[in-house]
């Protein structure tokens, strides 16, 4: 979604704002803007449709400089990605605002403000905020009081940065429902939608809490909670380094992140397994008591994280012998599900800020689910803070919109959960030991899967001029086929669908001809012979097969078929390894098609609105 940055310092903050926006660009990227209070005490603004580099050029051209400023990268929700809709929005040259979130009562406020004589220059929901703040300042309130009053009148979600020429050294920020961090350095302070934006300027952060408002100047800051009380918030030291969000030798973040998977998985396992067992303490001191009561699991998530949840369901039922259901969070939150006693709600999310997943969790709590566990990649994210138990995936920052290392580390984390629950439901020590051994070998197996890169690159040529593709899998590898299809469609814009291979004959087989590549994942498991029959059905109808198969598996798919072998791997962790070639395939097809791989059209990394 949108990203915001703000700064107050005794130096020109424009380079900090622009660099911060570049680091946040993965959140939204249809337009960008920044405003500062310049040396003449005037609000000076630059806005541009397109990427941050367009804004950077504009800021240089108009000589934008100032010691206090706010900036924004936009992913359009209300109004097209035009210059006039880009933030910051300004009211009567006096107040400027950047906003991430959605104001649900904006129409009502707009009507009211129009009657009061305010002129609108954009179609955004944000513009009502700046008018509302101005309105309160016009009635004698200072900028802090005006923000406090205005946010009380807003319905919906917001993270705000506000500056005004009436208080030239004061940056006000507020959050409800959208993430916001306060960065602390020596007599300079920053705000941003996430830590990664500010890493070059500080490692010290406060994660503002729901309803917090902060009043920030170069000589310090004050935070007020949602009831207006002054509060102290803990300062965190970030371990992120600037390199973690640099491209290095890679041409795209997605490729970098695909190659980071062996290390990411090592990190996810670090300190959490020992002597063939999962260490329960990894889930927190209260975990054992909570897990003892769990009789069923319900998983909610979106997109790629949902696919990880689907794999989790296969594992939880087949390995841990525990009933499990899984669904997309956007459906769950409105579905009025029946809650069974002692059911654990598990949320999966890379960002921990996905609006549907957070709302799903809150709904689950309201409905009376036993306890909650978040499997998440971003510490201190909203999801993490709202959950009883947390297992961090430790994938490191994932910048590419297409999720890769976050997915495979979610699968690893999910397996750790399966094992700690399984031992309470009849799973043997031997099973746990064997799976832990497989987990330990995963980084090496993934290194081997990455060796397929060149051959996949050659094969990708075949996909680049196609309009459709089918992905097939069975059992826990069916969600892997779904994930492969999602990767291909989101970055190459080729329509791709996944089917449980056994379902093919119930309809999709009608689509098969030489123009549709059919990709299948074929680990060596008890469903292999069934999968082979499904593949025969495809090749008998002239379909062209691309099969990723375990080395021990002999698949015949007709003379046109391409069979690529993946290092022999135990069935329990095969979905993790088979994800890799599908990620590489999507990447290389998109590369040939020349799409914007890290920032595919119409998408945002973190979907913080409904």
583 forms part of the interface with ligand M6R (CB under 6 A) = no
Residue of the chain from 206, 302, 319, 566 that contacts ligand M6R (CB under 6 A): 302
468-473 vs 495-500, strand pairing mode? parallel
**3-state SS assignment for residue 280:** helix
What whole-number distance in Å separates Cα of residue 212 and Cα of residue 229?
A: 10
The site map against ligand M6R for 463-502 (x = CB under 6 A) is -----------------------x---x------------
Nearer to ligand M6R by Cβ, of 188 and 353: the residue is: 353
Query: What DSSP letter does each residue of 501-569 carry, written as one string?
Result: GGGGGGTGGGG-STTSEEEEEE-SSTTHHHHHHHHHHHHHTTPEEEEEEETT------TT-EEEEE---
For the CB of residue 416, give the shortest distance to ligand M6R in the complex, in Å.
18
Could you tell me if 96 and 67 are in contact, meaning their C-beta atoms sit under 8 angstroms apart? no
CA angle 303, 600, 329 (to 5 degrees): 15
Residue of the chain from 113, 178, 304, 330 that contacts ligand M6R (CB under 6 A): 304
From the list 143-151, 288-296, 301-309, 570-578, the region that binds ligand M6R by CB under 6 A is 301-309
From the list 138-146, 154-162, 172-180, 346-354, the region that binds ligand M6R by CB under 6 A is 346-354
- Comparing every residue's Cβ against ligand M6R, the nearest one is 303
For the CB of residue 374, give the shortest distance to ligand M6R in the complex, in Å.
10
Q: Which residues pair with 183 in a beta bridge?
A: 190, 205
349 forms part of the interface with ligand M6R (CB under 6 A) = yes
3 forms part of the interface with ligand M6R (CB under 6 A) = no
Residue of the chain from 34, 113, 350, 393 that contacts ligand M6R (CB under 6 A): 350
**3-state SS assignment for residue 381:** coil
For the CB of residue 407, give the shortest distance to ligand M6R in the complex, in Å.
8
**Residue whose tokens read 């087949």:** 318
The site map against ligand M6R for 15-54 (x = CB under 6 A) is ----------------------------------------
For the CB of residue 606, give the shortest distance to ligand M6R in the complex, in Å.
6
**3-state SS assignment for residue 188:** strand
The site map against ligand M6R for 129-168 (x = CB under 6 A) is ----------------------------------------
Q: How many CA atoms lie within 13 A of 501 on its CB side?
A: 28
User: Cβ–Cβ contacts within 10 Å for residue 348, how many?
Assistant: 34
Nearer to ligand M6R by Cβ, of 35 and 300: the residue is: 300
The site map against ligand M6R for 378-407 (x = CB under 6 A) is -----------------------xxx----
- In the structure encoding, which two tokens stand for residue 41, read together? 């005490």
305 forms part of the interface with ligand M6R (CB under 6 A) = yes
Nearer to ligand M6R by Cβ, of 34 and 387: the residue is: 387
Closest CA to 309 of 367, 266, 350, 255: 350
For the CB of residue 490, give the shortest distance to ligand M6R in the complex, in Å.
6
For the CB of residue 583, give the shortest distance to ligand M6R in the complex, in Å.
10
Residue of the chain from 202, 351, 460, 525 that contacts ligand M6R (CB under 6 A): 351
CA angle 79, 84, 85 (to 5 degrees): 30
| Total residues found in the chain within this entry | 610
| Total number of residues that touch ligand M6R (CB under 6 A) | 16
For the CB of residue 401, give the shortest distance to ligand M6R in the complex, in Å.
5
**Residue whose tokens read 């292999």:** 528
Could you tell me if 402 and 600 are in contact, meaning their C-beta atoms sit under 8 angstroms apart? yes
From the list 18-26, 152-160, 201-209, 350-358, the region that binds ligand M6R by CB under 6 A is 350-358
- In the structure encoding, which two tokens stand for residue 253, read together? 């973040």
Cα separation values, 495 from 84, 274, 490, 601, Å: 33, 44, 9, 14
Q: Spot the catalytic one: 2, 91, 302, 324.
A: 2
From the list 206-214, 298-306, 424-432, 528-536, the region that binds ligand M6R by CB under 6 A is 298-306
Cis peptide before 88 (omega within 30 of 0): yes
Nearer to ligand M6R by Cβ, of 85 and 583: the residue is: 583
Q: Which residues pair with 64 in a beta bridge?
A: none
From the list 39-47, 189-197, 299-307, 520-528, the region that binds ligand M6R by CB under 6 A is 299-307
Is 605 a catalytic site residue? yes
Nearer to ligand M6R by Cβ, of 380 and 490: the residue is: 490
Q: Spot the catalytic one: 48, 51, 445, 605.
A: 605
Beta strands in 332-429 (DSSP E): 343-349, 371-376, 389-392
For the CB of residue 351, give the shortest distance to ligand M6R in the complex, in Å.
3
CA 242 from centre of chain? 19
For the CB of residue 406, give the shortest distance to ligand M6R in the complex, in Å.
6
From the list 54-62, 127-135, 234-242, 351-359, the region that binds ligand M6R by CB under 6 A is 351-359
Quick one: how many helices (H) and strands (E) in the chain? 18, 27
Is 2 a catalytic site residue? yes
371-376 vs 389-392, strand pairing mode? parallel
From the list 281-289, 297-305, 418-426, 512-520, the region that binds ligand M6R by CB under 6 A is 297-305
303 forms part of the interface with ligand M6R (CB under 6 A) = yes
Closest CA to 179 of 607, 601, 610, 603: 607
Query: What DSSP letter does each residue of 132-166 carry, written as one string?
Result: HHHHHHHTT--HHHHHHHHHHT--EEEEEEEEETT
Within 207-266, the residues that bind ligand M6R by CB under 6 A are: none
Nearer to ligand M6R by Cβ, of 173 and 347: the residue is: 347
User: Cβ–Cβ contacts within 10 Å for residue 596, how many?
Assistant: 14
Q: Which residues pair with 496 in a beta bridge?
A: 469
156-164 vs 95-103, strand pairing mode? antiparallel
User: Can you give the binding site for ligand M6R, defined by CB under 6 A?
Assistant: 302-305, 349-351, 354, 357, 401-403, 486, 490, 606-607
Active site residues: 2, 605
């Amino acid at each position: 979604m949108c990203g915001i940055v703000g700064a107050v310092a005794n130096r020109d903050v424009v380079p900090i704002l622009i660099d911060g926006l570049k680091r946040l660009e993965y959140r939204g990227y249809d337009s960008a803007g920044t405003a500062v209070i310049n040396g003449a005490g005037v609000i000076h603004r630059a806005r541009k449709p397109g990427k941050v580099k367009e804004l950077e050029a504009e800021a240089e051209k108009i000589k934008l400089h100032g010691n206090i400023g706010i900036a924004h990268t936009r992913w359009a929700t209300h109004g097209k990605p035009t210059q006039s809709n880009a933030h910051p929005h300004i009211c009567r040259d006096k107040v400027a605002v950047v906003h991430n979130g959605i104001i649900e009562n904006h129409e009502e406020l707009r009507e009211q403000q129009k009657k009061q004589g305010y002129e609108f220059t954009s179609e955004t929901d944000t513009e009502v905020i700046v008018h509302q703040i101005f309105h309160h300042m016009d009635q004698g309130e200072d900028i802090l009081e005006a923000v406090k009053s205005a946010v009380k009148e807003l319905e919906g979600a917001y993270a705000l940065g506000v500056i005004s020429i009436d208080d030239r050294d004061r940056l006000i920020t507020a959050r409800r429902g959208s993430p916001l961090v306060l960065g602390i350095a020596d007599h300079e302070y920053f705000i941003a939608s996430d830590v990664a934006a500010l890493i070059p300027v500080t490692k010290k952060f406060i994660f503002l809490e729901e309803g917090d408002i902060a009043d920030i100047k170069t000589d310090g800051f004050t935070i007020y909670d949602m009831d207006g009380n002054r509060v102290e918030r803990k300062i965190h030291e970030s371990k992120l380094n600037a390199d973690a969000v640099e491209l290095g030798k890679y041409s795209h973040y997605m490729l970098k992140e695909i190659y980071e998977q062996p290390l990411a998985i090592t990190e996810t396992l670090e300190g959490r397994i020992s002597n063939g067992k999962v260490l329960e303490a990894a889930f927190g001191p209260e975990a054992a008591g909570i897990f003892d009561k769990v009789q069923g699991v319900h998983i909610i998530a979106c997109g790629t994280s949902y696919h990880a949840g689907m794999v989790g369901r296969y594992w939880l039922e087949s390995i841990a012998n525990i009933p499990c259901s899984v669904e997309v969070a956007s459906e769950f939150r409105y579905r009025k599900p029946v809650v069974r006693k002692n059911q654990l709600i598990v949320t999966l999310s890379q960002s921990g800020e996905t609006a549907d997943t957070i709302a799903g969790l809150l709904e689950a709590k309201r409905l009376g689910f036993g306890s909650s566990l978040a499997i998440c990649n971003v510490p201190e994210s909203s999801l993490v803070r709202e959950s009883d138990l947390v297992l961090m995936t430790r994938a490191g920052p994932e910048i590419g919109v297409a999720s890769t290392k976050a997915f495979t580390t979610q699968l690893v984390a999910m397996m750790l959960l399966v094992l700690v629950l399984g031992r309470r439901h009849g799973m043997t020590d031997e099973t746990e030991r064997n799976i832990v051994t497989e987990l330990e070998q995963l980084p090496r197996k993934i290194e081997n899967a990455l060796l397929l890169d060149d051959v996949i690159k050659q094969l990708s040529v075949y996909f680049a001029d196609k309009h459709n593709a089918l992905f097939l899998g069975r059992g826990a590898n069916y969600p892997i086929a779904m994930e492969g299809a999602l990767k291909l469609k989101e970055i190459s814009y080729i329509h791709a669908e996944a089917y449980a291979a056994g379902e093919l004959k119930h309809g999709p087989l009608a689509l098969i001809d030489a123009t549709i590549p059919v990709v299948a994942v074929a680990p060596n498991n008890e469903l292999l012979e069934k999968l082979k029959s499904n593949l025969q059905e495809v090749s008998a109808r002239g379909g062209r097969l691309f099969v990723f198969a375990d080395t021990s598996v002999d698949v015949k798919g007709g003379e046109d078929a391409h069979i690529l072998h993946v290092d022999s791997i135990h069935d329990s962790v095969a979905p993790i390894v088979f994800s890799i070639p599908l990620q590489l395939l999507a990447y290389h097809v998109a590369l040939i098609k020349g799409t914007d791989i890290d920032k595919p059209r119409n998408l945002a990394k973190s979907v913080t609105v409904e």
